[in-house]
Structure 1
Amino acid sequence: MAGVVTRAVAAAVLVVVVVVAAAELVAAEPPPSERSALLAFLAATPHERRLGWNSSTSACGWVGVTCDAGNATVVQVRLPGVGLIGAIPPGTLGRLTNLQVLSLRSNRILGGIPDDVLQLPQLRLLFLQNNLLSGAIPPAVSKLAALERLVLSSNNLSGPIPFTLNNLTSLRALRLDGNKLAGNIPSISIQSLAVFNVSDNNLNGSIPASLARFPAEDFAGNLQLCGSPLPPCKSFFPSPSPSPGVSPADVPGAASSSKKRRLSGAAIAGIVVGAVVLALLLLVAAVLCAVSKRRRGASEGPKSTTAAAAGAGAAAARGVPPPGSGEGTGMTSSSKEDMGGASGSAAAAVAAVAAEPSRLVFVGKGAGYSFDLEDLLRASAEVLGKGSVGTSYKAVLEEGTTVVVKRLKDVAVARREFDAHMDALGKVEHRNVLPVRAYYFSKDEKLLVFDYLPNGSLSAMLHGSRGSGKTPLDWDARMRSALSAARGLAHLHTVHSLVHGNVKSSNVLLRPDADAAALSDFCLHPIFAPSSARPGAGGYRAPEVVDTRRPTYKADVYSLGVLLLELLTGKSPTHASLEGDGTLDLPRWVQSVVREEWTAEVFDVELVRLGASAEEEMVALLQVAMACVATVPDARPDAPDVVRMIEEIGGGHGRTTTEESEEGVRGTSEEERSRGTPPAAPTP
């Protein structure tokens, strides 16, 4: 009997202990300083989506906040894609002294990283990609001794890469791609570093040997970088040949220079005699020219102007523009005045123009290329395609560089307008836009030079694979292409106030990164006559755009909507319709199918064969596309609104937030997932 009582008492005690422990666990709460730090951060940072942080509930239950096992301290703050706007307020997140993971990617965070965040002793993962961070990478980032992943991709960071990153001995991933970083890459020799990417910056010089193990695409987009794994560096100025009798080892030194300056007396005498003879010959030639000119002036007088004009006409007949036009030479008005202006000889001006050959003019990052027109003419060429504005060629130069050359036809502007327009296009830099790198202008030829993207166009990937045995584009790839095209168009509209004028799938070129498709052939319509430009021809053109009018922002959005319909239906609007009455009016066809409530019939059968299970996303994107192709221009959304709507649809495409975990899955870490569409915001 006593044993039974003893066991009952022990069981009761155990129950009491468990209840008390559970109550303590439930009641566990991060310290008030951490709660106030989080609330201060949210209050000082505008955000588009409600997070539902409530001071009356436990901070460990707030959206995006994770505590340790005992709910005693905050260890993770993850707020990707929730519409945060503005700078990270100092004195907020930096007070979370036990923070291990901070993810604020895919927002609109401005400015730099506060100093107090860079002093968190336990921070291991820092994800700030796809924001608007600016300024230099703070050297104080090296104080994050526990840091394992640093991802600052796709921001506006500038300046050099700090050498102090070598202090991060635990670093496993460093992504700085898609910024405006300049200067040399420091020699980063961290043994644990497994992911490294500095592509699409303004870096120059040779790649350090300690980083040569990473693939070439991790350094792409830096036109002045060289060395393994990129092509070897070439000396811009060749070394001087050593003098006879001097060993090559002596050439660079000061001693070699002094030896070369010690000339024999005979050599000095020969130089002096030669100089005197040359001066006498020049003097005699000048006297003869003056006498001849005086005699011609006395005998012909009033006819000199006519002769000069005839000389100009003859030069024009040979393809040399007259001096007043400024075409084909790259001259400005000041350079023409230097050649004599109104009082100078017209024949002399023509001679000067003829003596100065036309050349390639590099713009923007194209200044990093080292070839010239002769190199381009000697390159092996392959026709890539013929479009409404000209023919594109793939040109492989002797040095191994590959570029795309577009040969324009029917250009209707003068040299000065052409120069100004190309200079403006060269300033466009965005991963979803393919800018002009160089151009050539003469009376008979107008050429544009672009970077070469080997993956081809969206049109070829979407339509060229049908019936060929190749795997067609899956839904994720189509969504990423749609988002890339929308982002590129929004950048042109909002940052540069440029109208693309020719949005279509063949002008969406695919980069190696899955989400980095780039819009090409943008804003070329101003250099053509309205009747010949025909922007957006072949089914993409908005109904209000006719031959006599220029395209507009809203017309671009219409073309983007047709592109979205093309991705959804698998049908190209440039192909003949089933009835054989010209190109397919894709918006009208989709409207007719949807009107009959056969919405499922709209979608590409290839998606069904691939087992696509994203019907809700497909229907949502269809609604966005139909809004873009509204007949009334004012009823269409703006390009940034289209980006926002597609981002909201995307939702990560199977990329769960667990992939952001500190362990990281190879190939699916947060910095790699961010190449695609941003994840959906946490549910409030």
Structure 2
Amino acid sequence: MEVFLRNSFVVVALVVVFLRHRVDSEPTQDKLALLAFLAQTPHENRLQWNSSNSACTWVGIQCDSNLSFVYSLRLPGVGLVGQIPANTIGNLTQLRILSLRANRLSGSIPSDFSNLKLLRSLYLQNNLFSGEFPPSIPQLDRLTRLDISSNNFTGSIPFAVNNLTHLTRLYLQNNGFSGSLPSISQSSIVDFNVSNNHLNGSIPTSLSRFQASSFAGNIDLCGVPLPPCNPFFPSPAPSPPSIPPPNPPRKTAKKLSKAAIIAISVGAALILLLLILILILCLRRGQRRRQAAKTQKPTAAARSGAGAAGAAAGDPGTSSSMEVTGVSGEAERNKLLFFDGGIYSFDLEDLLRASAEVLGKGSVGTSYKAVLEEGTTVVVKRLKDVVVTRKEFETQMELVGRIKHDNVLPLRAYYYSKDEKLLVSDYMSAGSRGSGRTPLDWDNRMRIALSTGRGLAHLHVSGKVIHGNIKASNILLRQDHDACVSDFGLNPLFGSTTPPNRVAGYRAPEVVETRKVTFKSDVYSFGVLLLELLTGKSPNQASLGEEGIDLPRWVQSVVREEWTAEVFDVELMRYQNIEEEMVQLLQIAMACVSTVPDQRPSMPEVVRMMEEINRGETDDGLRQSSDEPSKGSGDNA
């Protein structure tokens, strides 16, 4: 009995020691490596790792279940600057996930990254790394995701990338890689992008399965899916088929008779006379055309530049013509039809004589800024792919033309012919909220969100109209940043075969499958627009976050990991006392982008929730002045 008690005591003691060891376990070597990395790399004060605490509790660090090693290191957008020191991160030999994206790290990747043999996901995009393709990366043969896009890497892409046999996603775009593309043969790769580099030559057959956008911006790259390559040496002309020599003709006559000679001469004279008559007719026809042209004023071509496709109204761009075809013979029947209460008094001929400037090429057509001879400026949208009849077109235009609201851009006139369909609306000099503009403060972002929501709510409730194509370029701004919704109610003109809202980043999930827009799909698109205002990110931006996912899913993943502050545009961090309002608007946006349509609020409910945000409102629902930037705040990466 005494022996049994003694043995039991020993077992209990060992269990206590073992459990205490598990509780107090700490990845000591990994902790030292992380502290060395932090000490040698300049950074913002958001990273406050306390050396007296376990490394597994630090921000951005995730350990395994036994707390014995660092499993994941995620430090996106924390202001890391300069080169990655050697013998720091490279010592985290058990690391599976490494994310240092959206910092200001520079120089080359340390060679000791080759020690990270178990690494599966590596995200280094949106930094300032330079030098050739990191030679340590092809040694990480367990990688499934690699993103080194938007850096300054140069040189060739090595064939050794084929060593990464488990790779599923490879992003190398927006660098300075040159030379030819290697034949990357992994069939496991489902997402691939080398756009906007300096690559040349033919695209290997193993990569031809990817879309043209994966290779865009490499002007010397060719082959499927891009245009075919021109051969350096032209193909030789085919040899004529060998023809056996004919049997020698019988010599029936040694020379032509006089009758044959006379017949040939007469025939040649007749042919010559016929050619002269045809030439005279052509000259007379050309003279009549020139005389007719003098009686008409030619259509003026654009003399200033057009923005990129989908650019905001009001942005300049390359010169282009708004010459409208198919109107000369139908001018009397196909008139420019104005709506009651309009403010314009020009006709179709005035419009055709106007100077035109391309504003943007969108999913439903091309928009022109037209300046008439008397000085009036309007926007003319030239629709494409319209499939409905004249009666159906006119019925839809009458419905759209009746809608009047301060936050809805009114349709002033329309034109229909067999070859041309035109819409005329007011010109908004402030344009849309495009890229490359001065960042907006918080008050103006709220003003855009609220005024856009009111316009859409009016379309849904009073107009009974589904917008069907909500995106940033269709939200036009006045000088006071009040928004006007444009391009609404056009979806019925294009039939069921044309996908509505071709900018995929704004489309509701059910629209992708059914190609049918609804009031609820409009709410989803508006939610994406709110996320765009909050995050400063374009919804169709390639490789959002770390998994190449769309904007709503990326926001959900960040919020789920309790990195909510990382969602918001860094420009908004300059303003004080708006955190609660940003979170409230984020919650509204997330409700709008619910994957289940019935769980989304209606547009009037969305407007009500935005109006209830506690912002110390004035009568117009917005503050009278913008928040001042925080004093002493430095630049945020």
Q: What's the TM-score bracket when you normalise by the shorter of the two chains?
A: 0.3 to 0.5
| Higher fraction of helix | 1
Question: TM-score by structure 2 length?
Answer: 0.45
Per the normalisation by structure 1, the TM-score is 0.42
